[in-house]
Amino acid sequence: MPVLAAGLPVRLRVPVLAASAVALLGGLYAALLLLGTAVPAPAAPVEDVHGPVMVFGFVGTLIALERAVALGRRTGLLAPGSSAVGALVLLLAGPGLPGKVLMMTGAVGLLGIYRALWRRQQSAALLAQATGAFCWYAATLLWLAGLSIADIVPWMVAFVVATIAGERLELAHVALATPTAQRWFLAALATLVAGATAATLWPQPGTKMFGFALLAVTAWLAVFDVARHTVRGTGLPRYVAAGLLSGYAWLALAGLLWAGAGSAAAGARYDATLHAVFLGFTLSMIFVHAPVILPAVLRRPLPYRPVLYLPLALLHASLLVRVTAGDAAGLEPAWRWSGVVNVASVLLFIGCAAAVSVRVRRAGIRS
């Protein structure tokens, strides 16, 4: 689906993107507090909203903003605007009603965007992304109903997985040449939503079911994604493929942990499973798709450069240390410092991307 940029001026997109960047920085700061690093603690308990701020306030806002640009209508900015402001409210005031309602409003707005896009063109890719938005809405609704963040994790995971799977179909032309492949994709997607529902109703067996559903989605992506072939290429296609395949490996690990051991609300397994999904899979996808998405959203160049491998490699290497030496072996210093490097890898990516974009733009101006 092409990005229809004409109807949405860049000046209206920049404040939303800036707010999502603040949400990212706030979420990373909360991560440092949770890791026990020696940073000043703010008045609000930002560590209590680390997950929703990162998943909905940052990732959700980016997704909703990109979809609003695709829609090409100014009203589409209500969705990313609501989630971005909701993240800021959560960071400033903690997990209260206003922040939760704003997050839910962002999900409802995103569903409205997908409804409008569906009228233009119906596809399995768009259905997957709309399913992701529904999972976002379900997560915030359950959060408003009094469930803990640990209780709504399956819905948060389903949001990012369904959305990214849909983006892969749309952006990277994942092979859907046969009706059988599409049927398997839709079956895996339905199983993921059913698994999240089961995990809410019957936490222990339901979470195991969710783990198997996650493995089914991962298996489908591993089989049909063209990354298996483009990883042998060069330049941007190889960079994207490397991030995709490594992200799928982390997603498979999370599925195995949930399918094998069921739910966990705290502790080493909880830490390993969540960060396998939200760092190893989700942030990896953001890193490698940034050269495609950000220029479409901001009309600023972000061409591929080999330096972009550095933060990607640092992210996966530090996460591997965190999961193996920190979570599995129980070495607290390794867990803490690898977590700090996780944060540093995200900041490094922002720095590398900004430097590449500025350098290319200046070179274009000189020429």
Percent of the chain at pLDDT above 90? 72
Domain ranges (residues) in the chain = 1-122, 147-367
Output the pTM of the full model: 0.93
79-91 core/surface letters (b: 16 or more CB in 10 A; e: else)? bbbbbbbbbbbbb
pLDDT, tens digit, 9 for 90 and up, residues 305-352:
999 999 999 999 999 999 999 999 999 999 999 999 999 999 999 999
- What is the band of 147 on the pLDDT scale with cuts at 50, 70, 90? very high
Supply the pLDDT for residue 174.
59
Distances in whole angstroms, Cα of residue 343 to Cα of each of 5, 27, 37, 330: 32, 10, 12, 20
Weakest mean pLDDT among 170-174, 248-252, 304-308, 336-340: 170-174
Among candidate residues 68, 62, 66, 71, the one with its CA nearest the CA of residue 19? 62
- What is the band of 184 on the pLDDT scale with cuts at 50, 70, 90? confident
Among candidate residues 336, 349, 207, 209, the one with its CA nearest the CA of residue 273? 207
Q: What's the mean per-residue pLDDT of the chain?
A: 91
Q: Is the pLDDT of residue 5 over 50?
A: no
pLDDT, tens digit, 9 for 90 and up, residues 267-317:
999 999 999 999 999 999 999 989 988 887 877 778 889 999 999 999 999
272: exposed, middle or buried (C-beta count within 10 Å: 0-12, 13-18, 19+)? buried
Q: Is the pLDDT of residue 164 over 80?
A: yes
